[in-house]
Amino acid sequence: MKVPQAGAVAAVIALALTASGCGGNEDDKGTLSIGIKFDQPGIGMRETDGTFTGFDVDVATYVAKELGYKPERIEFKQVYSNDRELLLQYNEVQFVVASYSINEKRMEKVDFAGPYFVAHQDLLTRAGDTSINKPEDLNSKTMCSVTGSTSAENLKKNLAPKAGLLEQSGYSDCLVALQDSRVDAMTTDNAILAGYAARKGNEGKFKLTGQNLSNENYGIGVKKGNKELKRKINDALKKMVADGSWESAVKKNFGENYKYEPAPQITTG
């Protein structure tokens, strides 16, 4: 049996490596699973054509790029307010960018990168309703929020303890309940509410009452203990602010007239 020369063997090995994509080819990365909201206009929205829009989508896409993933290698998965921690714990997603307010209770279960945005809790009412001008006006009325949201908890505990509460799985369901007069107000972050009010078909139907009921620092959730990923995401967020991409994304998704806070200082390093 003829033994092949060393040079021929080396050539065969090199050819095999090239064909298989070994040695740092981008194909080795596979896909990156990111949790986002699918029903928050301006924040995270799955459009009817299957594309994704919103500020959180732009942030997630930018971070993914800095991690080495092109847009076509991102797999967006829908998350709800009450299952974000579970999806991270069971590795269903690598990180969550979903209007995810940083608080001590959540930090017991997950780690956060950021914050990357500051929103304020507000109320959305029907455009012709003049009976709700402050949180206390909800004491004789019914509000809607999503299950697991901190917004309704804040109102019930501190401002309107006698208010009725309808909890829904998504904000879109709350908006339908508000439009159908089954509730009197919808509460969550002003950025989310503004997105719904400005959505095509909703113009002139709803209004924000202009409350600043809380400061919501949005963070990017990662699995507890994954310090390396948190560091890389923080680096990406700093770069996004520095090169102007952050401000461009804010204006594109919330409109030129939206009064937003400057990019917050990252405090989760």
pLDDT in tens, 34-51: 999 998 899 999 999 999
- State which of 49-58, 184-193, 248-257 shows the largest mean pLDDT: 49-58
Q: 139-157 pLDDT, tens per residue?
A: 999 999 988 777 888 899 9
Q: DSSP states of 220-251 as a string?
A: EEEETT-HHHHHHHHHHHHHHHHTTHHHHHHH
The rounded distance, in Å, linking the Cα atoms of 142 and 149 is 16
Q: How many CB atoms lie within 10 A of CB 71?
A: 9
Q: What's residue 28's pLDDT?
A: 64
Q: What pLDDT was estimated at residue 22?
A: 41
Q: How far is CA 143 from CA 13, 131, 132, 214, in A?
A: 67, 13, 11, 17
pLDDT at 27: 54
- Which residues, in sequence order, are CB contacts of 143 under 8 Å at separation 6+? 123, 152, 155, 160, 163, 164, 165, 166, 183, 184, 185, 186, 187
DSSP 198: H
Asked which of 19-28, 81-90, 219-228 is least confident by mean pLDDT, the reply is 19-28
The whole-number pLDDT of residue 6 equals: 47
- What does CATH list as the number for 120-208? 3.40.190.10
Region of poorest pLDDT, from 170-184, 201-215, 233-247, 248-262 = 248-262
Check residue 257 and give its pLDDT: 65
Separation CA 5–CA 62 (nearest Å)? 49
pLDDT at residue 231 greater than cutoff 60 = yes
For the chain, the domains span 28-118+215-254, 120-208
Best mean pLDDT range from 115-124, 209-218, 250-259:
115-124
- pLDDT of res. 62: 98
Question: What pLDDT score was predicted for residue 197?
Answer: 85
For the cut 50, the answer to whether the pLDDT of residue 16 exceeds it is: no
**Rounded distance between C-alpha atoms, residue 199 and residue 193, angstroms:** 10
- What's the mean per-residue pLDDT of the chain? 88
pLDDT at 256: 66
For the record, the structure tokens of 193 come out as 């509410």
pLDDT above 50 for 9: no
- Examine the pLDDT at 121 and tell me if it is beyond 50: yes
Shared fold status for 28-118+215-254 and 120-208: yes
Look-up: residue for tokens 């339908």?
Answer: 176
Instruction: Tell me what the mean pLDDT of segment 148-168 comes to.
Output: 90
Q: What is the pLDDT of residue 14?
A: 43
pLDDT band (50, 70, 90) for residue 10? very low
For domain 28-118+215-254, is the CATH number 3.40.190.10?
yes
